[in-house]
Structure 1
Amino acid sequence: MVLLQASTEALNYTWILIVSFLIFFMHAGFAMLEAGQVRSKNVANQLTKNLLTWSIGVVAFFLVGTGIAGIAGGGSFSWGGTASGLGFIDFLYGAVFAMTGATIVSGAVAGRAKLRAYITYTILLAAVIYPVVISFTWSATNTGLVEIITGTPFTDFAGGMIVHGMGGIAGLTAAAILGPRMGRFNEDGSANVIPGHSMTFAVLGTLILAFGWYGFNVGTSAIYGADGFAAAQLGQVAITTTLAMAMGAIAAGAVAWFQTGKVDTLYVANGLLAGLVGITAIPHTTIWQGALIVGIISGAQLPIVFKFVETKLNIDDVCAVFPVHGSAGVIGTLLYSFVAAGAWSGWTPNVGFMIEGLIPQVVGVVVIGGWTLTATAVVWYVLKAMGEARVTPEHEQEGLDVSEHGVETYPEFGSGESVVADGGIMSEDIEATRGSKDD
């Protein structure tokens, strides 16, 4: 019996480590997706932000965030949230989720945020903002704020709202406060398209993220449960994740085609991700027919919400992080009781089940969204008031690769000493520090 228990624990923790590594690899997907959607003069800046999000954020989460999550969730403080080898594995599993939420923000503020402003916000998100969200929901005592308010636990299996919804709302808030990139909008409010520099990178990043998402959703199911092999749940999570992903891409492409007569590649790619985000909170309860519905709604809303954010709100969300992660995360979370097993008896809806399940989901979305928006707004407004939020117009024009990092991602694109990729003009002070090629 002892040997069986030890073997089960070993398998579970080996599985958790494998899943953690898989989710960590999603940072490669975010790096490629975001780098592909920015101008070539800003690629190195975007890649650097992705690297530092993990590196700085994971330390902040380890040293401070886990402790705050424990205290706010009713637990006791534990430095780094762990006291043993197995505890360290649990920390790593939580950290890859936390850093996923953090890195989403970088895509919204691309092309104009100061690196130090973004890093400051990342530290605060990893150390405070996200840990408090955990305490509201994935509480250490299993009695988070949502359950205290409603008497029913908040359902979010793998972070559809807690990770992705939070990240999307944070990104939209930061982008709104930071303001749009130069030339993004005209004086009459009409929008100009600033295309990304590599569709190939964007699609590659999408597929890497989709691959890693199986770690997010399927990986959250343990190989062995309390009652033995959890094959039923593993299978259900795998198929609902797959179907929602596929329908998200189809629906986003279809809506884009209906709007413009063209099947937009980026909408298809981001629609695939929106379908994944939509199902992430509820893959373990959703029936396969429901997964199709979740994917369709999550994908279809993407072009509509993106256009609303662009034309009505005039917010420059560079990588569409709000419609992909924010609104899709909210929608999937709210659909929980409408697509779950038990919600329907044939064609007859179980209204009581739907209403009872909807209440904690609505409260959870409001609490998470309200806290994230407020905390994010405070941080970025303070940075803006200090003049530390945004690069100068001259640095934005020449590109953040040169102004923030002193490099050119594609130096061969330039036609002269003072020209950087995408037509940005290098300012005299930067040009002087680099010297002449003839020296």
Structure 2
Amino acid sequence: MIESIALQSVGELADGISNVWILTVSFLIFFMHAGFAMLEAGQVRAKNVANQLTKNLLTWSVGVVVFFLVGVGVSNAAAGAGFETPFMAEADAGTAEVYINWLYGAVFAMTAATIVSGAVAGRARLRAYVTYTIALAAVIYPVVIAMTWTPEIGLVQEITGTGFTDFAGGMIVHAMGGLAGLTAAWILGPRMGRYNDDGSANVIPGHSMTFAVLGTLMLAFGWYGFNVGTAGVFTSSGAFNGAVLGRVAVTTTLAMAMGAVGAGLVAWAKTGKVDTLYVANGLLAGLVGITAIPHIATWWGALAVGLLAGAQLPLVFSFVENTLKIDDVCAVFPVHGSAGILGALAAPFVHHNLQVGILDAFIAQVVGVSVIAAWTVTATAVVWYVLKMLGQARVTPEHEQEGLDLSEHGVDTYPEFGDEDGVVADGGFVTDGSTVRTDGSVATNDGDSK
């Protein structure tokens, strides 16, 4: 009897620890929204900062409610389990874990949603972006997890006989968001002044490198919740899951570091300069690259995946910018899309203990990537094309020139840099031959600063 009570107490303690762990890592992942806000605000013009911050706030606020009321039910229904959402749970002791697990799923869903905002910055109507967020939280993302994480046997395993590997959402969350962002940016078209008549691209720099780097480091901190948090404290048999926790922690860290190195090296090789923003985004690309496979990757595999994910960033961004002519403002596709795809496809080649043939595993990964990409691009294109046909996708040229802070929100993020007379696109003003810069200094026509 005493032994039975003791075993029951141990089980309750283990459940309690697991629940607290899930809640803690969920809070860490939620904190990533602060990182996204800073990263994206830093990469847009001063006249669009408030708009970008508002989009980040509404992504969470609108999306999380929609995912609670509709998204989880759609995911369950698409997986063949019937439409069942957390609010349908009975108000008893068992409800707590239902709610905890829902929150854990919700922070992943909202990460996928907020990625899109960086791609469409500077020209998308707020109402259009919120409409897409609702569609993503209610249907687009839930269908993706219905094909992968929700069912006992995923769609890929039914097709190929081998399961699709994505530990923490490198493809399911990040690449899905990156593909959605690229599609939305393509349909919206580039910002005014982004391309010349001959097709050459103009650089439109962000207003704050400091914000961008701060956001990068905040995201990296929260990423430990994303990856390490997915590795439960205990195994299914109740043993401490230390080996997996340790592997995930070290592979996440190594890939993160090599992503920054890879992007910096390629930028240096191309231009002779180590571009700070490429280094920052390369660090994130390394994290995205490892997110699908941190539990199985060898240490050298983590180094290789991180290096490749970072190295491809300047190359893919250049391809998107100069060949596809898509204005991906915050480089969400090379950071989240192509890096996530690369990491998912690398799974069989860096696995520390592969139990199936490399070819079989690779085919499963290719099928999984292809199915997710096809659904995401198609569903996203439908939503944004409808909005475009209704004339609701993009702000007017006058509002775009004025800045979305004023046209969409009626605020000026940096009021001390502007004036009612002669406001220009970057938020400064020109009067009497002088220009007020966004740092508050005054540049005169003779080149002096005040």
Instruction: Please confirm whether the aligned pair reaches a TM-score higher than 0.5, indicating the same fold.
Output: yes
Q: Are 1:107 and 2:103 an aligned pair?
A: no
Letter in 2 for 1:24: F
Match of 1:204 in 2: 214
State the distance in 2 between where 1:43 and 1:421 align. Answer: 13
Query: Secondary structure of 1:407's match?
Result: coil
After superposition, the CA RMSD in angstroms is 1.3
Q: 2:201 aligns with which of 181, 191, 198?
A: 191
State the distance in 2 between where 1:91 and 1:165 align. Answer: 22
Q: Is the 8 A contact 1:23 1:212 kept in 2?
A: yes
Match of 2:230 in 1: 220
After superposition, give the CA deviation of every residue in 1:392-428 in whole Å (9 maximum; x if it has no partner): 0000000000000000000000143562661489xxx
Match of 2:378 in 1: 374
Q: Is the 8 A contact 1:398 1:424 kept in 2?
A: no
State the distance in 2 between where 1:79 and 1:12 align. Answer: 22
State the distance in 1 between where 2:317 and 2:157 align. Answer: 32
| Runs of at least 5 residues in structure 1 that lack an aligned partner in the other structure | 344-349, 426-439
Residue 81 of structure 1 deviates from its aligned partner by 6.7
Q: Are 1:232 and 2:252 an aligned pair?
A: no
Residue 76 of structure 1 deviates from its aligned partner by 2.3
Within 5 Å, which residues of 2 pair with 1:153-172? 153-172=163-182
Within 5 Å, which residues of 2 pair with 1:310-321? 310-321=321-332
Match of 1:432 in 2: none
Q: Are 1:125 and 2:136 an aligned pair?
A: yes
State the distance in 2 between where 1:106 and 1:44 align. Answer: 13
Match of 1:436 in 2: none
After superposition, give the CA deviation of every residue in 1:148-179 in whole Å (9 maximum; x if it has no partner): 11122111000000000000000000000000
Q: Are 1:9 and 2:15 an aligned pair?
A: yes
Q: 1:137 aligns with which of 148, 159, 163?
A: 148
Match of 1:398 in 2: 402
Match of 1:182 in 2: 192
Match of 1:76 in 2: 82
Q: Is the 8 A contact 2:77 2:84 kept in 1?
A: no
State the distance in 2 between where 1:200 and 1:330 align. Answer: 29
Letter in 1 for 2:123: R
State the distance in 2 between where 1:5 and 1:39 align. Answer: 54
What is the identity percentage for the equivalent residue pairs of Structure 1 and Structure 2? 71
TM-score where L is the length of structure 2: 0.91
After TM superposition, what 4+ stretches of structure 1 lie above 6 angstroms from structure 2? none
State the distance in 2 between where 1:43 and 1:262 align. Answer: 28
Within 5 Å, which residues of 2 pair with 1:22-421? 22-80=28-86, 83=89, 84-139=95-150, 141-227=151-237, 228-342=239-353, 353-417=357-421, 419=423
Q: Is the 8 A contact 1:41 1:424 kept in 2?
A: no
Query: Secondary structure of 1:143's match?
Result: coil
State the distance in 2 between where 1:168 and 1:101 align. Answer: 8
State the distance in 2 between where 1:87 and 1:50 align. Answer: 26
After superposition, give the CA deviation of every residue in 1:293-338 in whole Å (9 maximum; x if it has no partner): 0001100000000000000000000000000000000000000000
Residue 187 of structure 1 deviates from its aligned partner by 1.1
Q: Is the 8 A contact 1:410 1:421 kept in 2?
A: no
Query: Secondary structure of 1:124's match?
Result: helix
Q: Is the 8 A contact 1:82 1:88 kept in 2?
A: no
State the distance in 1 between where 2:425 and 2:411 align. Answer: 11
After superposition, give the CA deviation of every residue in 1:120-167 in whole Å (9 maximum; x if it has no partner): 00000000000000011002x321211211122111000000000000
State the distance in 2 between where 1:88 and 1:183 align. Answer: 47
State the distance in 2 between where 1:281 and 1:199 align. Answer: 29
| Runs of at least 5 residues in structure 2 that lack an aligned partner in the other structure | 1-6, 90-94, 430-450
Letter in 2 for 1:20: S
Residue 354 of structure 1 deviates from its aligned partner by 1.5
Q: Is the 8 A contact 1:247 1:299 kept in 2?
A: yes
Residue 74 of structure 1 deviates from its aligned partner by 1.8
TM-score where L is the length of structure 1: 0.93
Q: Is the 8 A contact 1:411 1:420 kept in 2?
A: no
